[in-house]
Protein backbone atom coordinates (compact mmCIF):
# COMPACT_ATOMS: atom_id res chain seq x y z
CA UNK A 1 0.00 0.00 0.00
CA UNK A 2 1.43 3.38 -0.84
CA UNK A 3 1.03 6.64 0.96
CA UNK A 4 -2.55 7.92 0.52
CA UNK A 5 -3.51 11.62 0.35
CA UNK A 6 -5.12 12.83 3.58
CA UNK A 7 -8.22 14.26 1.77
CA UNK A 8 -8.84 10.83 0.23
CA UNK A 9 -8.72 9.10 3.65
CA UNK A 10 -10.98 11.74 5.19
CA UNK A 11 -13.41 11.79 2.24
CA UNK A 12 -13.82 8.01 2.46
CA UNK A 13 -14.38 8.30 6.21
CA UNK A 14 -17.05 11.00 5.78
CA UNK A 15 -18.87 8.91 3.17
CA UNK A 16 -18.59 5.77 5.29
CA UNK A 17 -19.65 7.49 8.56
CA UNK A 18 -16.52 6.63 10.49
CA UNK A 19 -13.41 8.57 11.53
CA UNK A 20 -9.70 8.00 11.00
CA UNK A 21 -7.35 8.22 13.96
CA UNK A 22 -4.15 10.25 13.97
CA UNK A 23 -2.15 8.46 16.62
CA UNK A 24 0.84 10.60 17.44
CA UNK A 25 4.16 8.76 17.52
CA UNK A 26 7.50 10.01 18.83
CA UNK A 27 9.97 7.31 17.77
CA UNK A 28 10.16 4.15 15.70
CA UNK A 29 8.71 1.91 18.44
CA UNK A 30 5.59 4.03 18.86
CA UNK A 31 5.27 4.45 15.09
CA UNK A 32 5.45 0.67 14.55
CA UNK A 33 2.84 0.21 17.29
CA UNK A 34 0.41 2.41 15.32
CA UNK A 35 1.10 0.63 12.03
CA UNK A 36 0.68 -2.81 13.63
CA UNK A 37 -2.58 -1.78 15.31
CA UNK A 38 -3.99 -0.45 12.03
CA UNK A 39 -2.92 -3.59 10.16
CA UNK A 40 -4.45 -5.81 12.82
CA UNK A 41 -7.71 -3.85 12.50
CA UNK A 42 -7.45 -3.53 8.70
CA UNK A 43 -8.08 0.18 9.19
CA UNK A 44 -6.93 3.33 7.39
CA UNK A 45 -4.69 5.40 9.62
CA UNK A 46 -2.92 8.74 9.86
CA UNK A 47 0.68 8.27 10.92
CA UNK A 48 2.85 11.10 12.07
CA UNK A 49 4.71 13.13 14.61
CA UNK A 50 3.88 16.26 16.56
CA UNK A 51 6.10 19.33 16.93
CA UNK A 52 4.47 21.18 19.81
CA UNK A 53 5.95 19.20 22.70
CA UNK A 54 9.30 18.46 21.06
CA UNK A 55 12.46 20.49 21.58
CA UNK A 56 12.48 23.06 18.77
CA UNK A 57 16.26 23.03 18.54
CA UNK A 58 16.22 19.30 17.87
CA UNK A 59 13.57 19.75 15.18
CA UNK A 60 15.55 22.63 13.70
CA UNK A 61 18.77 20.60 13.62
CA UNK A 62 17.30 17.83 11.45
CA UNK A 63 14.62 16.28 13.62
CA UNK A 64 11.91 17.13 11.09
CA UNK A 65 13.79 15.21 8.40
CA UNK A 66 14.42 12.28 10.78
CA UNK A 67 10.68 12.11 11.52
CA UNK A 68 9.88 12.28 7.80
CA UNK A 69 12.25 9.45 6.91
CA UNK A 70 10.88 7.19 9.66
CA UNK A 71 7.27 8.01 8.84
CA UNK A 72 7.64 7.73 5.09
CA UNK A 73 9.21 4.28 5.30
CA UNK A 74 6.49 3.09 7.70
CA UNK A 75 3.64 4.50 5.59
CA UNK A 76 5.02 3.00 2.40
CA UNK A 77 5.35 -0.48 3.82
CA UNK A 78 2.06 -0.42 5.78
CA UNK A 79 -0.51 -2.94 4.55
CA UNK A 80 -3.34 -0.43 5.10
CA UNK A 81 -3.97 3.03 3.59
CA UNK A 82 -1.91 5.58 5.50
CA UNK A 83 -1.36 9.34 5.32
CA UNK A 84 1.67 10.96 6.96
CA UNK A 85 1.10 14.15 8.96
CA UNK A 86 3.55 16.60 10.50
CA UNK A 87 1.31 17.83 13.30
CA UNK A 88 1.35 21.24 14.97
CA UNK A 89 4.46 22.67 13.39
CA UNK A 90 5.31 25.95 15.10
CA UNK A 91 5.96 27.78 11.85
CA UNK A 92 5.12 27.62 8.16
CA UNK A 93 8.84 27.12 7.54
CA UNK A 94 8.88 23.95 9.66
CA UNK A 95 5.71 22.69 7.96
CA UNK A 96 7.32 23.26 4.54
CA UNK A 97 10.49 21.48 5.62
CA UNK A 98 8.27 18.55 6.57
CA UNK A 99 6.59 18.51 3.15
CA UNK A 100 9.97 18.76 1.42
CA UNK A 101 11.21 15.81 3.46
CA UNK A 102 8.28 13.50 2.66
CA UNK A 103 5.25 14.21 4.83
CA UNK A 104 2.12 14.35 2.65
CA UNK A 105 0.20 16.53 5.11
CA UNK A 106 1.10 19.28 7.55
CA UNK A 107 -0.62 21.25 10.24
CA UNK A 108 0.69 24.54 11.48
CA UNK A 109 -0.09 25.73 14.98
CA UNK A 110 -1.07 29.30 15.74
CA UNK A 111 -0.33 30.72 12.28
CA UNK A 112 -2.12 33.72 10.80
CA UNK A 113 -4.77 33.23 8.11
CA UNK A 114 -2.32 34.63 5.53
CA UNK A 115 0.39 32.20 6.58
CA UNK A 116 -1.98 29.25 6.40
CA UNK A 117 -3.12 30.33 2.91
CA UNK A 118 0.58 30.54 1.90
CA UNK A 119 1.18 27.05 3.28
CA UNK A 120 -1.83 25.70 1.35
CA UNK A 121 -0.49 27.20 -1.90
CA UNK A 122 2.95 25.66 -1.30
CA UNK A 123 1.42 22.33 -0.24
CA UNK A 124 -0.53 22.13 -3.51
CA UNK A 125 2.77 22.27 -5.38
CA UNK A 126 3.93 19.29 -3.30
CA UNK A 127 0.65 17.39 -3.86
CA UNK A 128 0.23 17.59 -0.09
CA UNK A 129 -2.62 18.54 2.24
CA UNK A 130 -2.97 21.10 5.02
CA UNK A 131 -4.89 21.04 8.28
CA UNK A 132 -5.34 24.11 10.44
CA UNK A 133 -7.17 24.96 13.61
CA UNK A 134 -9.53 27.86 14.11
CA UNK A 135 -10.03 28.74 17.76
CA UNK A 136 -7.80 27.37 20.46
CA UNK A 137 -8.07 24.36 22.74
CA UNK A 138 -7.33 24.69 26.41
CA UNK A 139 -4.42 22.57 27.60
CA UNK A 140 -5.10 20.32 30.58
CA UNK A 141 -7.07 22.22 33.20
CA UNK A 142 -6.14 25.65 31.84
CA UNK A 143 -9.68 26.45 30.59
CA UNK A 144 -8.77 30.15 30.37
CA UNK A 145 -6.90 29.42 27.13
CA UNK A 146 -10.02 28.14 25.35
CA UNK A 147 -11.32 30.03 22.37
CA UNK A 148 -14.25 28.25 20.74
CA UNK A 149 -14.65 27.98 16.97
CA UNK A 150 -17.34 30.26 15.58
CA UNK A 151 -19.32 28.67 12.68
CA UNK A 152 -19.42 31.75 10.42
CA UNK A 153 -15.77 32.54 11.04
CA UNK A 154 -14.99 28.91 10.21
CA UNK A 155 -16.74 29.24 6.85
CA UNK A 156 -14.81 32.43 6.03
CA UNK A 157 -11.51 30.88 7.20
CA UNK A 158 -11.93 27.76 5.06
CA UNK A 159 -12.84 29.90 2.04
CA UNK A 160 -9.82 32.18 2.58
CA UNK A 161 -7.24 29.51 3.28
CA UNK A 162 -8.45 26.48 1.29
CA UNK A 163 -7.46 24.06 4.08
CA UNK A 164 -8.25 20.38 3.53
CA UNK A 165 -9.20 19.70 7.13
CA UNK A 166 -10.36 22.06 9.87
CA UNK A 167 -9.54 21.37 13.52
CA UNK A 168 -12.23 22.79 15.77
CA UNK A 169 -12.50 23.94 19.36
CA UNK A 170 -15.89 22.82 20.68
CA UNK A 171 -15.05 22.08 24.30
CA UNK A 172 -12.38 19.47 23.50
CA UNK A 173 -9.20 19.81 25.57
CA UNK A 174 -5.57 18.97 24.83
CA UNK A 175 -3.51 16.76 27.15
CA UNK A 176 -6.27 16.25 29.72
CA UNK A 177 -6.25 13.11 31.84
CA UNK A 178 -8.57 11.78 34.52
CA UNK A 179 -11.83 13.23 33.20
CA UNK A 180 -13.61 13.81 29.93
CA UNK A 181 -14.17 17.13 28.22
CA UNK A 182 -17.58 18.78 27.88
CA UNK A 183 -18.40 18.90 24.21
CA UNK A 184 -20.75 21.44 22.63
CA UNK A 185 -22.47 19.28 19.99
CA UNK A 186 -24.73 22.14 18.87
CA UNK A 187 -21.68 24.24 18.01
CA UNK A 188 -20.14 21.29 16.17
CA UNK A 189 -23.35 20.83 14.19
CA UNK A 190 -23.46 24.53 13.27
CA UNK A 191 -19.81 24.41 12.11
CA UNK A 192 -20.58 21.30 10.04
CA UNK A 193 -23.50 23.11 8.40
CA UNK A 194 -21.30 26.10 7.63
CA UNK A 195 -18.32 24.24 6.09
CA UNK A 196 -18.09 21.16 3.90
CA UNK A 197 -14.43 20.48 4.83
CA UNK A 198 -13.84 17.42 7.05
CA UNK A 199 -13.48 18.39 10.72
CA UNK A 200 -10.80 17.21 13.14
CA UNK A 201 -10.98 16.85 16.89
CA UNK A 202 -7.72 17.30 18.78
CA UNK A 203 -7.55 16.14 22.37
CA UNK A 204 -8.72 12.60 21.64
CA UNK A 205 -7.55 11.37 25.05
CA UNK A 206 -10.30 13.21 26.94
CA UNK A 207 -12.98 13.11 24.24
CA UNK A 208 -16.01 11.24 25.68
CA UNK A 209 -16.27 7.82 23.99
CA UNK A 210 -20.06 7.91 24.01
CA UNK A 211 -20.10 11.10 21.91
CA UNK A 212 -17.88 9.72 19.14
CA UNK A 213 -20.86 8.67 16.93
CA UNK A 214 -22.50 12.11 17.48
CA UNK A 215 -19.28 13.83 16.48
CA UNK A 216 -18.94 11.71 13.35
CA UNK A 217 -22.56 12.51 12.43
CA UNK A 218 -21.57 16.20 12.71
CA UNK A 219 -18.68 16.09 10.26
CA UNK A 220 -15.75 14.85 12.35
CA UNK A 221 -13.60 12.59 10.17
CA UNK A 222 -10.38 12.68 12.21
CA UNK A 223 -9.51 12.28 15.88
CA UNK A 224 -6.04 13.15 17.21
CA UNK A 225 -4.74 11.12 20.12
CA UNK A 226 -1.51 11.65 22.00
CA UNK A 227 -1.47 11.55 25.81
CA UNK A 228 -3.35 8.24 26.18
CA UNK A 229 -0.75 6.56 23.98
CA UNK A 230 2.24 7.77 25.98
CA UNK A 231 0.43 6.84 29.20
CA UNK A 232 -0.09 3.28 27.90
CA UNK A 233 3.52 3.06 26.67
CA UNK A 234 4.78 4.20 30.10
CA UNK A 235 2.57 1.64 31.87
CA UNK A 236 4.12 -1.07 29.72
CA UNK A 237 7.62 0.21 30.50
CA UNK A 238 6.87 0.32 34.23
CA UNK A 239 5.68 -3.29 34.14
CA UNK A 240 8.92 -4.48 32.52
CA UNK A 241 11.91 -5.31 34.68
CA UNK A 242 15.20 -3.51 34.01
CA UNK A 243 17.44 -6.34 35.23
CA UNK A 244 19.30 -8.44 32.70
CA UNK A 245 21.28 -8.25 29.48
CA UNK A 246 21.29 -4.60 28.30
CA UNK A 247 21.26 -5.71 24.67
CA UNK A 248 18.12 -7.73 25.21
CA UNK A 249 16.51 -5.01 27.32
CA UNK A 250 17.09 -2.17 24.88
CA UNK A 251 16.84 -2.24 21.13
CA UNK A 252 16.64 -6.01 20.59
CA UNK A 253 12.98 -5.77 19.46
CA UNK A 254 12.54 -9.16 21.14
CA UNK A 255 10.26 -10.03 24.05
CA UNK A 256 12.79 -8.75 26.62
CA UNK A 257 13.02 -5.30 25.01
CA UNK A 258 11.35 -2.92 27.47
CA UNK A 259 10.53 -0.50 24.66
CA UNK A 260 8.69 -3.31 22.83
CA UNK A 261 6.73 -4.02 26.01
CA UNK A 262 5.70 -0.36 26.10
CA UNK A 263 4.83 -0.40 22.40
CA UNK A 264 2.70 -3.52 22.81
CA UNK A 265 0.65 -1.86 25.55
CA UNK A 266 0.22 1.20 23.36
CA UNK A 267 -0.82 -0.94 20.36
CA UNK A 268 -3.76 -2.31 22.37
CA UNK A 269 -5.01 1.20 23.09
CA UNK A 270 -4.72 2.22 19.43
CA UNK A 271 -6.73 -0.84 18.40
CA UNK A 272 -9.49 0.00 20.89
CA UNK A 273 -9.68 3.55 19.56
CA UNK A 274 -9.75 2.42 15.94
CA UNK A 275 -12.78 0.27 16.81
CA UNK A 276 -14.38 3.16 18.69
CA UNK A 277 -14.01 5.37 15.60
CA UNK A 278 -15.69 2.71 13.45
CA UNK A 279 -12.61 2.36 11.19
CA UNK A 280 -11.98 -1.37 11.66
CA UNK A 281 -12.25 -3.30 8.41
CA UNK A 282 -12.28 -0.09 6.31
CA UNK A 283 -8.70 -0.42 5.12
Residues making contact with ligand 13P (CB under 6 A) = 24, 50, 87-88, 174-176, 202-206, 224-228
CB of 274 to ligand 13P, least distance (A): 15
Distance CA 36, CA 38 (A): 5
Among residues 18 and 22, whose Cβ is nearest to ligand 13P? 22
Taking Cα atoms as reference points, which of 193, 136, 137, 200 lies closest to residue 163?
200
Among residues 31 and 228, whose Cβ is nearest to ligand 13P? 228
CB of 182 to ligand 13P, least distance (A): 14
Say what the alpha-carbon torsion angle 153, 84, 230, 173 is, to the nearest 10 degrees: 10
CB of 232 to ligand 13P, least distance (A): 12
CB of 166 to ligand 13P, least distance (A): 14
CB of 100 to ligand 13P, least distance (A): 22
Integer angstrom CA distances of residue 103 from 49, 61, 178: 10, 17, 33
Among residues 9 and 249, whose Cβ is nearest to ligand 13P? 9
Q: Count CB neighbours of 221 within 10 A.
A: 27
Among residues 104 and 224, whose Cβ is nearest to ligand 13P? 224
Among residues 35 and 273, whose Cβ is nearest to ligand 13P? 273
Among residues 146 and 155, whose Cβ is nearest to ligand 13P? 146
CB of 36 to ligand 13P, least distance (A): 20
Among residues 175 and 249, whose Cβ is nearest to ligand 13P? 175
CB of 198 to ligand 13P, least distance (A): 15
Distance CA 147, CA 225 (A): 20
Amino acid sequence: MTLVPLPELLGDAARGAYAVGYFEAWDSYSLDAVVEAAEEERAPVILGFGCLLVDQGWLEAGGIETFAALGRAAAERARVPAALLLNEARSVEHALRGLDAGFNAAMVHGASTEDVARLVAEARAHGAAVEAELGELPTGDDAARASLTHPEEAAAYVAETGVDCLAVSVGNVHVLEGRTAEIDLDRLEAIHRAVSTPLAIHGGTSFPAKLVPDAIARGVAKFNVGTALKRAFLAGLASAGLEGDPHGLLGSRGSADVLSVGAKRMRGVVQELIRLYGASGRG
